[in-house]
Amino acid sequence: MKNHKNETQGRIGVTSALMLALAGMFMTTNAIADEITQLDPNIKGYVKIAGISGNVNSIGSDTLNNLMTLWAEGFRKQYPNVKIQIEGKGSSTAPPALIEGTAQLGPMSRPMKSTEIDSFERKYKYKPTAFPVAIDALAVYVHKDNPIPGMTMAQVDAVFSKSRRWGARENVDRWGQLGVTDELATSPISLYGRNSASGTYGFFKEHALKNGDYKDEVKEQPGSASVVQGVTEDPSGIGYSGIGYLTSGIRALPLAEKEGGTFAPPTQENAMNGSYPLWRHLLVYVNKTPNKPLDPLVKEFIKFIYSKEGQSIVIKDGFFPLSPALMEKELAKVE
């Protein structure tokens, strides 16, 4: 994600006329639900090899928990003698697990911090290896009946942060300030987010809040599913989570980087071309000694993720697949 200069916003609210115009554009359904995520036909199928067995542990991201579980199930169909244990309590749990050797796979929904890399390097004298495994559009969710057609990044910032580093002139705590004119207009905005152990919490703080401070009113949730559940049950709710957690009870809002810009829904195309402002790579970190191949079991698991079967699972779980070119580049790192 690129860094952006602060944009001074003339107004936080969207006018009623603009609301109506945009409502016609986006209607009341999720644009993402209408797009079929495509798997590139050039992605190769997985080729099974002999002699793969044993146990491997995965500790890290909650966002990636379902994906890791589905990948493990698909991998075990290839290798029934393999056991993969998965624990997803937050991205911040991955680096210490890799450092201590209690996990061979460290899924994270954000890049490692420099302090985490330094801690790893102090012990092993080399850096951990990161593999991008899927593309995620970090979605801003509202209740399915909320009529708001989209938000600018300054509005998202003014809703969730007390710092307002995107340049919003006023705090936003009522739906009417965002142009909502029905009975929801006078309702206080109810905020749902992740806890600080979460990579999603860190990514949203960095990119949506420009490292500003979250409001004290944000209800911190232990997992992505809890955020979605909270917004589903709260007509005044708004929250953020990976696009793979989209359900019928919520809407993923189109976002615009600047006031007057085009609202881009969180689709595969918009994430890949960067027009949706909150996209990211989901990552799996491993401990790989330089100039030595990965452990055969870990190596084959990574190769499975980068196969037609593995990337089909990405789509099944609601995220977006990688390009063949990127996967080809990353596969060179496993040797």
Write phi, then psi, for 88 (nearest 5 degrees): -125, 85
| 141 bridge partner residues | 239, 252
DSSP assignment letter at 23: H
Exposure string over 120-132, b if 16+ CB within 10 A, otherwise e: beeeeeeebbbbb
Total structural domains in the chain?
A: 2
Model pTM score: 0.87
Q: Token pair 């420099």 is at which residue?
A: 114
Domain shared by 77 and 108, yes or no = yes
Domain shared by 123 and 60, yes or no = yes
Question: Residue 288 is encoded by which pair of tokens?
Answer: 């790989």
Looking at the domain assignment, is residue 7 inside a domain? no
Residue 63, domain extent: 54-135+283-334
Looking at the domain assignment, is residue 29 inside a domain? yes
Domain shared by 216 and 144, yes or no = yes
Looking at the domain assignment, is residue 125 inside a domain? yes
Neighbours of 17 (CB within 10 A): 9
Looking at the domain assignment, is residue 39 inside a domain? no
Looking at the domain assignment, is residue 100 inside a domain? yes
Tell me, what CATH number does 23's domain have? 3.40.190.10
3-state secondary structure of 143: strand
**Chain segment 57-102, per-residue pLDDT in tens:** 999 999 999 999 999 999 999 999 999 999 999 999 999 999 999 9
Looking at the domain assignment, is residue 5 inside a domain? no
Q: Is 34 exposed, middle or buried, given 0-12, 13-18 or 19+ CB atoms closer than 10 A?
A: exposed
**Chain segment 259-311, per-residue pLDDT in tens:** 999 999 999 999 999 999 999 999 999 999 999 989 999 999 999 999 999 99
Task: Count Cα neighbours of 47 within 13 Å in the Cβ-side half-sphere.
Answer: 2
Domain shared by 148 and 272, yes or no = yes
**Chain segment 306-328, per-residue pLDDT in tens:** 999 999 999 999 999 999 999 99
Domain shared by 274 and 292, yes or no = no
Looking at residue 335, what is its pLDDT?
Answer: 85
| 193 bridge partner residues | 220
Percent of the chain with pLDDT over 90: 88
Exposure string over 175-201, b if 16+ CB within 10 A, otherwise e: bebbbbeeebeebebbbbbbbebbbbb
Domain shared by 172 and 24, yes or no = yes
Domain shared by 166 and 25, yes or no = yes
**Chain segment 154-200, per-residue pLDDT in tens:** 999 999 999 999 999 999 999 999 999 999 999 999 999 999 999 99
Cβ(300)–Cβ(84) under 8 Å? no
Write phi, then psi, for 118 (nearest 5 degrees): -60, -40
